[in-house]
Amino acid sequence: MITIQGKGVSAGVGIGPLYFYRRATAEIKRYTVEDTEAEWHRFKGAQTGAIEQLGKLAEQARAEAGDEAAMLFETHQMMAEDLDYEEAIENLINEEKLNAEAAVSDVAEQFAAMFASMDDAYMQARAADVKDVSQRILSILCGVVQGGIASEVPVLLAADDLAPSETIQLDKTKILGFVTAGGSGSSHTAILARTMGIPAIVGLGDALKPEYEGRQAIADGSTGALVIDPDDDTRDRLMKKREEQLRLQRLLETLKGQANVTKDGKTIRIYCNIGSPEDVHAVQVNDGGGIGLFRSEFLYLNSKDYPTEDEQFEAYKTVLSDMDGKEVIIRTLDIGADKQIGYFNLPKEDNPAMGMRALRICLTRPEIFRTQLRALFRASAFGKLGIMFPMVTSVWEVREAKRMCEEVKRDLKKEGIPYGEDVQIGIMIETPAAAVCSDRLAKEVDFFSIGTNDLTQYTLACDRQNNDLGRFYDPHHLSVLRLIQMVTENAHKNGIWVGICGELGADLTLTETFLAIGVDELSVTPRSVLPLRNAVRMTDTRETAPRILADLAEDYTAR
């Protein structure tokens, strides 16, 4: 039995085989082949496999986002079996005796360059398509696994760490838990695990060795212990722990349909954070009151090129329609920092968390922002929509974003396209600058949503992704809590509501503090709704609020 200690970032006990994530990268080797006929058949097999994959993706896209979204994959199917494309590959294999991988790679570059040199913008865009199709064929030839998991049974997924673009494409039905060498409590792997309600351990370091592949393991997301080849006593103990957790979950199920109200009658809204339309089901089964944060960047992370207005519209419309009149707050594009997307061609930055990201990208590249705003306002005709802008630091940024919203609405009205007249506009408070200026910002918007992950990072000058900082990264730091209190007071003085959509909202040790401060809404992962509701219903703010507010007002040097 081997026990490796890391940091538990999502509670629960997961039991299953360890499986190491297969990253979708393939080194293209070049060599001469003798049996050109066999090599041609290798290519044809990979081509057929790619066409089948694209067909399944088209079906999935049609079900989730409509016919237009499916057309991209259907176009790629046709491109994969284009006769000129095939013939060029066949010639390289037969005449130059190139291996299939090198032949596909060379033809992809040749065709992409040909498309890129054309005057027609539509044909220029096909350069990216032919590269994407060819990469899919190459992945099959090189044995790279699409989605990172080639297992017939669910697994404990192991990795160094996972990027947002990788987590979005995982086959989540095959994941029992996450265990990573790096990462932190606010990494995207941890956030995904909490959304899925499965255990996750980060920071296992070099002790998480690839040779453990396939061995039975137990991940305890509460303690951060990963046990490989557990003995009978350890297995029995952790199995009992899992059963107890399931029993408590069944008890929490009785809270479905109950109000989020304290013993003394104080009510708070409990909403959910989601990352894709598929997550709406989790919101519904966990009795979330609405969606307080829909991370729209999933559309960009899960695409090889900028998603079109119609593709975005279909996704937003699906979420709003499925939520059946409940409030849905969609955050505009938030990439940069740890969420990098190749086709944005963002310059390399020494400190990307402080650089070109989120609203800064939208305001400097208005064509991207305008496309998203059009899709959002079109979707607003199908439900109760709120739009919020991330990474705000100044009043002028908010005014510029609002001006673009008004332009989009005027254009839609001229075109006769319906949109909701009551769309609320809000901002995320996740920089100290926004918190300190929240009295002025409150006059510009309908609501605030506090992003505690970044607010903690920027306030404490601690990289949220750096697990080595340990106790230095302290979301409970008095400075962070005082900023939350300041923001809440400034919001209420100006007649707007304030929520928390960062991971801190689900921290049950702070529920009484947020109630005492007067936060109006907590938006958490779907699996956190019922435990949070339970904590709210057990609180009496008449008893707790005076003590908490006194602690927040206490001179810091006396603590």
Q: Which residue ranges make up the annotated binding site for Mg(2+)? A: 430, 454
Taking Cα atoms as reference points, which of 372, 379, 387, 391 lies closest to residue 435?
A: 391
Residues of the binding site: 295, 331, 430, 453-454, 464
Residues of the binding site for phosphoenolpyruvate: 295, 331, 453-454, 464
Secondary structure (3-state) at 373: helix
Burial per residue of 28-60, b for 16 or more beta-carbon CB atoms within 10 angstroms, e otherwise: eeeeebeebeebbebbeebbebbbebbeebbee
Residues labelled catalytic: 188, 501
- Which tokens in the block code for residue 311? 């593709």
Q: DSSP character for 275? A: S
- Residue ranges of alpha helices (H) inside 81-200 are 83-95, 100-116, 121-141, 164-167, 188-196
Burial level of 474, CB count in 10 A (0-12/13-18/19+)? middle
Helices 309-322, 67-80: inter-axial angle, 10-degree rounding: 130
Taking Cα atoms as reference points, which of 458, 454, 444, 300 lies closest to residue 369?
A: 300
Count helices and strands (H / E) in the chain. Answer: 21, 16
Taking Cα atoms as reference points, which of 115, 128, 134 lies closest to residue 28?
A: 134
Q: How many CB atoms lie within 10 A of CB 281?
A: 12
H/E element, 178: strand 175-180
What is the distance between the alpha carbons of residues 419 and 435, in angstroms, rounded to a whole number? 31
Cβ atoms of 424 and 446 closer than 8 Å: yes
Strand partners, 201: 8, 179
Distances from the Cα of 70 to the Cα of 65, 77, 206, angstroms: 8, 11, 42
